[in-house]
Structure 1
């Protein structure tokens, strides 16, 4: 289905519904009825049109994009001077998560004045939230790994009830899996037997003779834009940025 301007579709993953306002060879921009815009990669079978699954493609008559885009796909702000940091924050689980978010959304975060910090795990998340003392104008967004029903992470997240905190997550065991295998140059992320440390198990299964830190550098080095990441992560980070920058 050509992504013609004003075509109304729904992103199948996030449920975001809006009209097409722009489209280039990699992504489409949708605007909802409140004027909020979101960028989505042109992945196969990623949208719903009148309840039916469709694949959006760039219209044949589309003109070349004249604006430079950031790694997240947003229009880059030329001559950017970082905005003074907001009181609101985004917390992620670990240093790898923070590095990946910076790689893709660093430009956007500096435009908005949002600082990303890492927690080294979420076991103490309720206490961390209490110490942060969220309130309107001082919001907290938290990105959690492996946030699936019945997981330890889901039980911890359920204990956070402040309206000024948004806890979202992706289904991957580790942030490594949020990078598309094709971008890394592998057919798929291997299954690791229960009881085997996940990173070490992945490295062994792939036949990489390197330490986890070196493996991560290889993975991160394969990421240059949002198109290298899975939609399950893209949507959640965009959701957090919207939440912490929303006017009280």
Structure 2
């Protein structure tokens, strides 16, 4: 059984029969040493680890948990950041969901936003919802019916002038009477996969996928991953998402747009 060598714990050294209470644990020459004080006030040091008894039962002494936990907590408090780079708020409970929402095109977008900005959004009480595409974005705006205290932020993939997505967004931005309470932004990437820095996957740049080949299929094939089924592509996305630890792993074109949406839906009065 493992037992933290907390101050005051009484143990017996099996080899010498020395019995005493733990007074301190220190590290000397790369080795943890526990100092035991017997009933006469004499102190002796022993190497931390196996070879001790407590009430006749063998135990392995480990570094004191309280001290280790205190050091860890102190270090975390000094440097804790969320994946988005924001200062983590210790002990902050998630707020009740606000009326405002952020909408994204699909599951992969939602999972990426959750991984990087999830802690921030929970503190703000902002929910991320999936649209399952933006072909009828104007209809989604009417259905949500944004207004005072109920803002709608939308993140769109491949929002480039002249594209189908651009025309759909222009129509959605003009929906009355909701337009003043809607913000639609987008990144230039064909798919949200591409917003992950390619270096995180061992690539210099994302490869160019031949015309006629679905983009995700082409990427998985280039990386040498299975790509024949939706299950294969889902597994490929999990590998890509797993390479993301925080905001520094994403391209600024996505970072800026998501931060813009968060500011919009959390502005005073929204």
TM-score normalised by length of structure 2: 0.66
Q: Is the Cα–Cα contact under 8 Å of residues 226 and 233 in structure 2 kept in the other structure? A: no
Q: Note the C-alpha offset of 1:195.
A: 1.6
The correspondence of residues 181-200 of structure 1 with structure 2, limited to 5 A, is: 181-200=198-217
Give the alignment partner of residue 82 of structure 1, picking from 84, 88, 94.
Answer: 94
Give the corresponding residue for 1:138: 150
Q: Does 1:208 align with 2:229?
A: no
Structure 2 unaligned segments of length 5 or more: list them: 1-76
CA distances 1:158-185 after superposition (whole Å, capped 9, x unpaired):
0122010000000000000000011122
Write the distance in 2 (CA, Å) between the matches of 1:155 and 1:209.
35
Give the alignment partner of residue 168 of structure 1, picking from 185, 188, 193.
Answer: 185
Q: Is the Cα–Cα contact under 8 Å of residues 226 and 234 in structure 1 kept in the other structure? A: yes
Give the corresponding residue for 1:246: 267
CA distances 1:185-216 after superposition (whole Å, capped 9, x unpaired):
22221111122111001111222235101100
Write the distance in 2 (CA, Å) between the matches of 1:93 and 1:72.
20
Write the distance in 2 (CA, Å) between the matches of 1:88 and 1:214.
32
Larger mean CA deviation between 209-218 and 172-181 belongs to 209-218
Q: Is the Cα–Cα contact under 8 Å of residues 73 and 226 in structure 1 kept in the other structure? A: yes
Q: Does 1:156 align with 2:168?
A: yes
Relative contact order (C-alpha < 8 Å, sep 6+): which is higher? Answer: 1
Give the alignment partner of residue 238 of structure 2, picking from 199, 217, 222.
Answer: 217
- Determine helix, strand or coil for the equivalent of 1:150: coil
Q: Note the C-alpha offset of 1:240.
A: 0.1
Could you say what the CA RMSD is over the residues aligned between the two structures, in angstroms? 1.2
Higher helix share: 2
Give the corresponding residue for 1:38: none
Give the corresponding residue for 1:237: 258
Structure 1 unaligned segments of length 5 or more: list them: 1-64
Give the corresponding residue for 2:69: none
Matched residue count: 184
Q: Is the Cα–Cα contact under 8 Å of residues 190 and 206 in structure 1 kept in the other structure? A: no
- Determine helix, strand or coil for the equivalent of 1:66: helix
